[in-house]
Structure 1
Amino acid sequence: MDVACISYKETGFFSPTVIDYLEDKPELREFYSHRPTLNGFADLLKNKKVTADRELLATTLTDQYQLIEQYARIWDPGFSIPQPVQQNINSLKEANTYTITTGHQLNIFAGPLYFIYKIATAIKLTQQLKAQFPDKNFVPVYWMASEDHDFAEISYTTIGGKKVHWWLESSGATGRIHPETIRQALNQYKGVLGMADHAPELAAIVETAYTRFDRLADATRYMVNALFGRYGLVIIDADNQRLKQQFAPIIEQDIIEQNSFKNITATNEKLHNLGVHIQVNPREINFFYMKGSLRERLVFEEGRYKVLNTDISFTEEQLRQEIKKHPQKFSPNVVMRPLYQECILPNIAYIGGGAEIVYWLELKSNFDHYKVDFPILILRNSGLVVRKESAVKIKRMELSPADLFKPADSLKNYWMKKHSEHNLSLQTEWAALTGIFETIKQRATRIDPTLGPSTEAVQARLKKAIDNLEKKLVKAEKHNYHTRLEQIDQIKAELFPKDSLQERNENFGLLYVKWGQSFIDELIRNFEPLDFEFAVLTEN
């Protein structure tokens, strides 16, 4: 693929706060630790404090992967975990190894494209850091949001413009859901893939993932490993008793003292005063209680710690004992999950989308309170994939990569004015009329000072009439270029479905069908995590 890059700001699809972060606006500096640059990583690595139990982490990951291996070998005796993954897990025991982490929900069939882009960004960044710091090791990690309970958000994907939905009434942690009822959605997805090119390869991956495992977390691990295992991606399921045991002291302290609520509320007030749109608001208690298919909020009422919508409650001492004996039953919410992540991983960077970067800015004071290092925040790479057929149209119409991001009507007006044989602007004429009106206004006010506003009113009405006439000129010329302008609509509809970014809507499936594993290779080759630019990837 050929790549052309434009700034995130120029796309118009990213929030002012994200742009301010990328541009290093001083007012945001207190809300993060180090800049997302090679110098920032060098500074962080000099004083990085690792709280993770490396041996326990490696052992837990090994056990999780061995479970997958045991299941897989039932139908494929030759199946094994990729060697790069095994090597990376083993390297986590070493003091000079650090992780680069991205996380996401367990969207079926890998959800929208940015699911894939997040992981590709993490892999590319580890390669770049290894080149810059050869005496250290860097491991890409995908953190599965297996404890998230919002099934509605992960139950569908859109491929080829068609929505594939897994219809199921579900509650509790999504990672624990059995995918036995996904067959209809699976068949629909495979039907859209078809049989050409690399379709059978991807169909086999999803068929195995969603029919051979009894937990959605394990199905997702299998699928993501099939796509990214060769690059050494390590996948972690933190819904785990041993990992939660490490976090137990903070779980207990935060529930009882409500520190996260106090710290993040104070930070959010500061950010709000800076004009930042707050992404998440903390609760007094930022943990759920999990048991089987139950995942409900903990609240403190009438002197007891209660689990909403149940009869379960604890005194303070009972709560302490429950956390000590069963830490796996306590699930962090969105504001505490990042702290849990940084406690159990030797992590130096988190890769997220624009909204994630903003909500991480809300969290640093809580990290400081618990004396846990705050990672470097990296905006994931974004990409727009342009088919060869569309690229030909774009080239013929002399559109630049930046032009593609303009709204359709603005782009059509821009293109038409650029290519029309006629001058469709009346600004020169209006400038001349403005001079005439200034002369009229001076003459009128000399006769009677009260006539000035009347003259201005006439001028305003004429300006509106001139603007309307200009719009009619543009509309008439649009009719002359109807066929060419229709092509702009077609290009925009393909590249920006629902007037949104392709990566926020379309699944990777049909791109994989066309290019196979080389699609992911090309993403990793072309993405530049520290350049802060949007990649327009064109088939060559």
Structure 2
Amino acid sequence: MFIEQYPLSSAQPLTEAYIHRTDERVESLFGYHSEQEQDWIRRMKRLEHTAASRADAVALAETLRAYNTRFGASPEMIASIGAIAEGAPVIVGGQQAGLWSGPIMVVHKAVSIIGAAKWASELLGRTVVPVFWIAGEDHDWDEANHTYVMSGNHELRKLGVQRPEGARTSVSRTTIDEETWRSLLAELDQALPHAEFKPAMMEQLTAAAERASTLSELFAAILTLLFGKEGLVLLDADEPSVRKLESPMFRRLIEHNDDLEQAYISTAERVKSFGYEPQADVVPASANLFVFQAAKGNERTLLHKLEGKFRDRKGTSVWTMDELLHLADHEPWQLSNNVLTRPLMQDYLLPVLGTVLGPGEIAYWSLTGEAFRRLDMEMPIVVPRMSFTLVEGTIAKHMAKYDLTFEDVRLRFEERKQRWLMEQDKHAIDERFAAVKQSFNDLYGPILALAASVQAGLAPLGETNHRKIVEQIEYLETKTKDAHNKQYEASTRQLDRIASSLWPAGKPQERVLNMTAYWNRYGFTWLERLLEAPFDRTGGHRIVYL
């Protein structure tokens, strides 16, 4: 295996400023920095002093053990949960569930969480547990319901599942029936090319689907298959047993809601004053909490505030503070966080040493520092997620053949492709047709002028005639080029395969392709390569040659 570092910018200016420490004002939004070893030690001491203010570790471990066992938890996962019961700190990162695990950046996040936990364990001389937070409370079905795979003919294919009939509730509360699972498995089997590890993979994915009644449960079962030996603990934010543990924190979020609102608004203004655009909507009068309305099929409803009460956007449903506090105390599973309150809830539920975040997440977490302080809490260490581009052996050979770098594929692929085709043109097609068109224009100009001098009305006719003749020359030019390029169809396919593998649909590989493409061909070897990559506290991008 060969790994090459590549400076891939995140396109998030605030995140880049945090990672590379180019703006002290941005650092002040966070408090700690992942690159500073001393900050990890300071954060650990803080966790030890504030243990009593968080959810009970033993009760949390019991909940995690019951949940993870449902998906065939490995001995290593059970050991990790045991460490949590004894007060071990955690590295946590999360993602909404996706079909067949969603885009491969989900795997990158899990690898980063595991790498950070191992590194921190060595630094601190104690067990640090990796935890994956499944954002099952999210109701964005269109984001969770699909994935992309590369078919046998190297075409990008979208696989998806329609939302079942019913209310717009969370992904973890949206049930998928057995017939739909069978259809999804058949679709995946048909889309992927036949390869060495396909039968075993399909068998394991079938078993995972049999354990699942929702996309979140399938997601958990797949992560268990991939990372069980690494001791990665899974937590679904929408599990009723988890919500029960969160009850006291929901009460605080409701009681201090106005104070938190002002904290988010003031921080957003501060971010703007630094010259950055806030990456999460900070809306005045937003409670930054959701309610699941049982009377409406558990529809997930964002709460807004007006005249001392909480209401839905249209004002058709209204709650008093006492009614919400009653839910917090007695039915906390009917409440849910948004992107700005989830960091607070996560820090209450878990002893978070560090949180692994992607570029966009880092940008919106910058809005939460003051909210943490208002509740006498402290933002954990923000750890940038590592990212990878996987390069298969055949792709690497083709890149060498056409003298292409990853930079070429990412920034100027079509230009390089056309240049290569032009270099194969021994007939100088472009130049010769250009010369013909120029000669025609030179010859036709005087004739057009002559006709117009005889009768002015002939000028438009002449112009039309001129345009038609040029169009015919260009038509023949196109056909000639097509005939020439057809001789290089195999090469064109190889070039296009490079782009579709490394930068599919004009986007980073990790944001499009699903991991089954690599599992299908390499078994778990590709994953082992990622887990072997050195952990980098500042994230960064690596090109991994398989």
Q: Same fold (TM over 0.5)?
A: yes
Is 1:269–2:260 an aligned residue pair?
A: no
Query: How large is the Cα RMSD of the aligned pairs?
Result: 2.9
Pick from 86, 94, 106: which aligns with 2:97?
106
1:89–1:234 CA contact under 8 A, matched in 2:
yes
Corresponding residue for residue 77 of structure 2:
85
Corresponding residue for residue 396 of structure 2:
391
Corresponding residue for residue 124 of structure 2:
133
- 1:8 and 1:55 map into 2 onto residues whose CA distance is 42
Is 1:370–2:367 an aligned residue pair?
A: no
1:17–1:276 CA contact under 8 A, matched in 2:
yes
- 1:128 and 1:215 map into 2 onto residues whose CA distance is 34
Mark the CA change 1:35 to 1:415 in structure 2 (over 3 Å): closer, same or farther: farther
> Structure 1: where are the runs of 5+ without partners?
70-79, 419-475
Corresponding residue for residue 164 of structure 1:
159
- 2:422 and 2:20 map into 1 onto residues whose CA distance is 33
1:120–1:523 CA contact under 8 A, matched in 2:
yes
1:287–1:332 CA contact under 8 A, matched in 2:
yes
Corresponding residue for residue 423 of structure 1:
none
Is 1:29–2:20 an aligned residue pair?
A: no
Corresponding residue for residue 225 of structure 1:
224
2:97–2:215 CA contact under 8 A, matched in 1:
yes
SS of structure 1 residue aligned to 2:172: helix
1:289–1:307 CA contact under 8 A, matched in 2:
no
Mark the CA change 1:515 to 1:56 in structure 2 (over 3 Å): closer, same or farther: same
Q: Using structure 2 for the length normalisation, give the TM-score.
A: 0.78
1:304–1:313 CA contact under 8 A, matched in 2:
yes
Mark the CA change 1:486 to 1:330 in structure 2 (over 3 Å): closer, same or farther: closer
Deviation at 1:415, TM superposition (A): 9.0
Q: Relative to structure 2, which stretch is displaced further, 18-27 or 101-110?
A: 18-27
C-alpha distance after superposition, 1:430-471 (max 9, x if no partner): xxxxxxxxxxxxxxxxxxxxxxxxxxxxxxxxxxxxxxxxxx
2:248–2:328 CA contact under 8 A, matched in 1:
no
C-alpha distance after superposition, 1:447-498 (max 9, x if no partner): xxxxxxxxxxxxxxxxxxxxxxxxxxxxx9xx99x96898655522331111
Corresponding residue for residue 198 of structure 1:
197
Mark the CA change 1:534 to 1:271 in structure 2 (over 3 Å): closer, same or farther: same
Is 1:513–2:520 an aligned residue pair?
A: yes
- Letter of the structure 1 residue corresponding to residue 84 of structure 2: L
Corresponding residue for residue 424 of structure 1:
none
Is 1:533–2:543 an aligned residue pair?
A: no
Is 1:151–2:141 an aligned residue pair?
A: yes
- 1:174 and 1:109 map into 2 onto residues whose CA distance is 14
C-alpha distance after superposition, 1:123-174 (max 9, x if no partner): 111112222222x111111101111011111111001111001022451011
Corresponding residue for residue 304 of structure 1:
309
SS of structure 2 residue aligned to 1:537: strand
Deviation at 1:238, TM superposition (A): 2.5
Corresponding residue for residue 440 of structure 1:
none
SS of structure 2 residue aligned to 1:385: strand
Mark the CA change 1:189 to 1:81 in structure 2 (over 3 Å): closer, same or farther: same
- 1:490 and 1:215 map into 2 onto residues whose CA distance is 34
- 1:6 and 1:157 map into 2 onto residues whose CA distance is 26
Q: Using structure 1 for the length normalisation, give the TM-score.
A: 0.79
Is 1:286–2:283 an aligned residue pair?
A: no
Is 1:236–2:243 an aligned residue pair?
A: no
Mark the CA change 1:486 to 1:199 in structure 2 (over 3 Å): closer, same or farther: closer
Corresponding residue for residue 67 of structure 2:
64
- Letter of the structure 1 residue corresponding to residue 265 of structure 2: T
2:288–2:338 CA contact under 8 A, matched in 1:
yes
Corresponding residue for residue 174 of structure 1:
171
Mark the CA change 1:407 to 1:270 in structure 2 (over 3 Å): closer, same or farther: farther
SS of structure 1 residue aligned to 2:97: coil
Is 1:523–2:523 an aligned residue pair?
A: no
> Structure 2: where are the runs of 5+ without partners?
151-155, 424-480
Pick from 114, 124, 131: which aligns with 1:123?
114
2:149–2:513 CA contact under 8 A, matched in 1:
yes
- Letter of the structure 2 residue corresponding to residue 139 of structure 1: V
- 1:232 and 1:81 map into 2 onto residues whose CA distance is 9
- 1:345 and 1:359 map into 2 onto residues whose CA distance is 20
SS of structure 2 residue aligned to 1:92: helix
Identity, % of aligned positions: 22
Mark the CA change 1:102 to 1:316 in structure 2 (over 3 Å): closer, same or farther: closer
Deviation at 1:398, TM superposition (A): 4.2
- 1:63 and 1:246 map into 2 onto residues whose CA distance is 22
2:248–2:329 CA contact under 8 A, matched in 1:
no
SS of structure 2 residue aligned to 1:189: helix
- 2:195 and 2:422 map into 1 onto residues whose CA distance is 43
- 1:271 and 1:485 map into 2 onto residues whose CA distance is 47
- 1:194 and 1:14 map into 2 onto residues whose CA distance is 34
1:4–1:401 CA contact under 8 A, matched in 2:
no
1:408–1:492 CA contact under 8 A, matched in 2:
yes
Deviation at 1:212, TM superposition (A): 3.5
Is 1:328–2:330 an aligned residue pair?
A: no
C-alpha distance after superposition, 1:83-108 (max 9, x if no partner): 1100100101223x111111000111
